[in-house]
Amino acid sequence: MSAFTTYLEAASQRQAPMQEADLLLEMVVAQDDPTLLNAIIAALNKELRALPLTAPNSAFSAIMRLITHLTRRKEEAELAANPARRAGIERVGEHFARKAQSGFSPLPLPE
């Protein structure tokens, strides 16, 4: 296991005073730049694949939780940067909500 994986596992299981590594993790988790988030997610995926099969489940879980959190942050940042995309997603959501309520929607899918 790498030092990063060991740290993630330990950090996810303890409540201790904030250290430099904790501060770094907080800064990574708070990122809003999609390009930087993509790079961090790629590095975490590489780390996850490099874990030995004998690694504790908590190590896998800690990395996967961080990947999930950062992926959500990336998607939110991308939507915030592109209001037209967000509006399109909301229109499609409304369309499917109408369809679910009525069982049938004569309106075409919004583009």
| pLDDT one-digit tens code per residue, 5-61 | 676 666 666 665 556 666 667 777 777 788 888 888 998 899 899 988 898 888 888
- pTM check: above 0.75: no
Residues contacting 44, CB < 8 A, separation 6+: 63, 66, 67, 70
3-state helix, strand, coil in the chain (%, to 5): 75, 0, 25
Q: How far apart are CA 111 and CA 92, in angstroms?
A: 8
